[in-house]
Amino acid sequence: MWIQVSIVVRSPAHQWALVGVFSAFQVITTIVPYSISVGVEGTISVGLVSAPLIGVLLGPVLGAIAVVIGSVLGIMINSSAGIMWYFTPIATASGAFVAGAIRTGRSTLVAPVFLAGLIAFLLGPVGYLCLSYVWLHCITLLPVAALAIPSVGGRVKLYLEQVSDRVRLTSAVALLSFVAVMTDHIVGSAIAAFYFVYMVGFDAAGMAAAFNSVSLLYPLERIVATIILTVVTVALFTAARSSVLLIDEGGELARAE
C-alpha cells in the first residue's frame, strides 16, 4: 500500500498548476478520434478514456474542471470532436467526476450523477421510443447502487490503494473504469437527445432510430474503453509505487515516504 505520504503540496497555486497540466493533456486526447459516432456528424475522441484518468489523479472537482477546460480547447482546435457543440464536455466531465469520486472515497456521489443522466434521457424527447437503448445502463445501475453503500465504496477505495495485490487493484480499477465510461455515455446520450431534437431540429423518431441502431454497438465501444482505461490506470498505479511521485488520499500528486 502507498497511502502514506510525507510531502503533500496543497497550495492553490499547486492545484491550479496541476489543472493546467492535465487540461493540456485533455486537449491532445480530445483531438484524437476514438470512434465514429452513428447518426450525427462528428467523432468520439480519446478524451473518453483520458477524462476518467484525470479524475482519478486530480479528484472529482479539479479533475472535472481540467477536463472541461481541455475539452473546450480541444473542440476549438478540432470542431468535429464537439458532436454536441460545447455541451460535449459535460459528458466527459461527468466521467472524470465519477472516477475521482470513487478514487477518493466519495462514491455516494456517483449515483446522483448517473441517475440524473439516465432519468434525463428517459424523460427526454426520444426516451420512450428507445427503451432498449439503455439496457446496459440498467445493468450499470447494479454497481452504481452498490457504490452508494458507504462500506462498499470504502472497500473499493481500499482495493485501489493495495497496489501490491494485483487482483484487487485490477478489479477495483475495472469497476471504476466501467462506471465512469458508462456515466459519460448516459450523460452524453441525454444531452445529445435534447441538443439534436430541440436545437438542431432533428426529428425525434429519426433520432430514436439512430440510438436504437447502436444498441448493440455502443456496448462494445464502452467495454473496449473500459479495458484500455483499466490497463493504463493499473500500469500507472504500479509504476507510481516505485516512483517519487504517488497519489495521495485526496487524489493529488505527492511525494512518497
- Domain locations in the chain as residue ranges: 5-256
- Residue 175 in grid coordinates: 469497476
As a whole number, mean pLDDT of residues 212-241 equals 88
As a whole number, mean pLDDT of residues 89-110 equals 94
Q: Is the pLDDT of residue 5 over 70?
A: no
Q: Provide the pLDDT for residue 45.
A: 62
For 132, other C-beta atoms within 10 Å of its C-beta total 10
Q: Provide the pLDDT for residue 221.
A: 86
**Of residues 98, 92, 94, 105, the one with CA closest to residue 25:** 92
As a whole number, mean pLDDT of residues 224-229 equals 91
As a whole number, mean pLDDT of residues 205-223 equals 90
* pLDDT > 70 in the chain, percent: 81
pLDDT (tens digit per residue) in 115-152 = 999 999 999 999 999 999 999 999 999 999 999 999 99
Q: Which residue has the higher pLDDT, 242 or 30?
A: 30
As a whole number, mean pLDDT of residues 48-61 equals 90
- Alpha-carbon distances, residue 1 vs 4, 153, 160, 257 (angstroms): 8, 18, 9, 12
SS3 215: coil
Q: Provide the pLDDT for residue 76.
A: 82
Residue 217, Cβ density class (10 Å: 0-12 exposed, 13-18 middle, ≥19 buried) = exposed
- For residue 143, give every residue at least 6 positions away whose Cβ sits within 8 Å of its Cβ, in sequence order, or none: 175, 178, 179
pLDDT-derived band at 28 (thresholds 50, 70, 90) equals confident
As a whole number, mean pLDDT of residues 221-226 equals 89
Q: What is the DSSP letter of 254?
A: E
Separation of alpha carbons 195 and 13, rounded Å: 37
Q: Provide the pLDDT for residue 100.
A: 95
Q: Provide the whole-model pTM.
A: 0.85
Looking at the DSSP bridge assignments, the partners of residue 35 are 44
Q: Provide the pLDDT for residue 171.
A: 96
Q: Provide the pLDDT for residue 255.
A: 42
